[in-house]
Amino acid sequence: MQKLKTTVKTKINLPRWVKYLIPLVLLVFVFLCSRIPALAEWYIQVFYPAIATVLSWMNRWVSFSLLDALMIVAMVLLLFTNLKDETSRKFIVAELLVG
C-alpha cells in the first residue's frame, strides 16, 4: 500500500512594513549602542561571543571568505528578483560574463 504524502502550502499575508521592521530595529539598536556605552558593553559581553563562536565554527569548514560568498549570492538574488523582463536579465548576465 502506497502512502500518500500531502503538503499544505500556506502564504502568510503580512503587512508590507513588516519586512522593514528587522533592519529598522537593528539600525536603532546600533544608534543606541553608539549613544549608551552600557548598552554597547552589554552587547559585547552577551551577544557578540555567541555570534563570534557560530561564525568561527562556520568559517572552519570553508576555505574562502563567507562574506564574499554571501555578497555574491545577494547580488544574484537581487538581480533575478528585481528584473522581471527575461531579455533584460539575459542581457545583464551576458554583460557580466563577457565583461
Specify the pLDDT at position 3. Answer: 60
Q: What is the DSSP letter of 2?
A: P
Q: Is residue 29's pLDDT more than 90?
A: yes
How many Cβ atoms sit within 10 Å of the Cβ of residue 52?
Answer: 10
- Can you tell me the mean pLDDT for 61-83? 77
Instruction: Average the pLDDT over each of 19-23, 36-40, 67-71, 77-81 and give the range with the smallest value.
Output: 77-81
How far is Cα 30 from Cα 36, in angstroms, rounded to an integer? Answer: 10
Q: Is residue 1's pLDDT more than 60?
A: no
Q: Is residue 68's pLDDT more than 80?
A: yes
User: What are the residue boundaries of the structural domains of the chain, listed by start?
Assistant: 16-61, 63-99
